[in-house]
Structure 1
Amino acid sequence: MEIVLVEGDITAQRVDVIVNAANSSLLGGGGVDGAVHRRGGPAILAECRALRASKYGRGLKTGQAVATTAGKLPARWVVHTVGPVFSPDEDRSALLRDCYTNSLAIADELGAATVAFPLISAGVYGWPVADAVRQALTVLRAASPAHVTEARLVLFGPETYAVAGRIAAS
């Protein structure tokens, strides 16, 4: 699987799967989650509501992932995953890696060839960017999915992209 770093907007990626850094409610929020729901339109929210009404009545647990339609996004599916909130007092990096592992597994089960990931937990959840990149690359470099041939790490802004480039090259 090829890993590609891209500076840009996750909602503009033309891929099979866009990964959404969702909140546990699955009902939209801020940051990536809000952008995915706004650009994707009501079909995503409708499927998320159906998931909440059936299998995920208490919401999606941190590190887990679930797929829905992509609505109006330039993708076939959205895989929603809930990243951990950063804590300087507790190592939650395994949960962050689970987000990438579980999202990639679902994308592969769907038969997706291309997947675009945001930098999970590095926004409002406060994860330090450099470590968030390291955690993502650790999982993606070790993965050997059956169908996914390209994993994009979509980085918002030139500063985040530059940090990711330095870490990927080291």
Structure 2
Amino acid sequence: MISARDLAFVGCRLLALYALYAALLTFAHTLTVAMSGFDQFVLSFGTSLTVNLVVFLALWFGAGRIAERVAPGRAPPREEAAPFWTRQHVLTLALVVLGAWVLIHHLPTLLGQLSLLFEDGGGGAIRDRTGLLSSILTSVLASGFGLLCLFGARGIADVIVKLRRW
């Protein structure tokens, strides 16, 4: 059976991945704002990007310490039989759930934005074309992240387990 410390560790890593995801979205917005000439907003987006990256780094590399504080000194109980859920199974399942959530959240938006872009056909009906392209870029990045988590969950879990040396 998975211990409370291991579960807390996996939770920290998943929150770290979400912070990285938020940083990627903010990066796309920052690029769009910088290219659009709205320099007064670059600092705001840059600050948000920096905070998300700091949170990612703190949660990713501090997951062991955080998990130890949440469940200090609690060793997993000894069992005779092999556990049904290994750490890798739990992490893979969590990545699949995260990927599905991101896709459910962003894929409909992406399809709506693309239909709006193709419906316009360059006729100029869309006044803020840069804003629309920024939203499309954000949705594409988010959907790509969701697909990566959904279809690459086992590979990502393998890498995390190897990095963690469980």
Identify the TM-score tier after normalising by the shorter chain.
under 0.3
Greater Rg over alpha carbons, structure: 2
> Which structure features the higher share of strand residues?
1
Q: Normalized against structure 2, the TM-score is what?
A: 0.23
Q: Which has a greater percent of helix?
A: 2
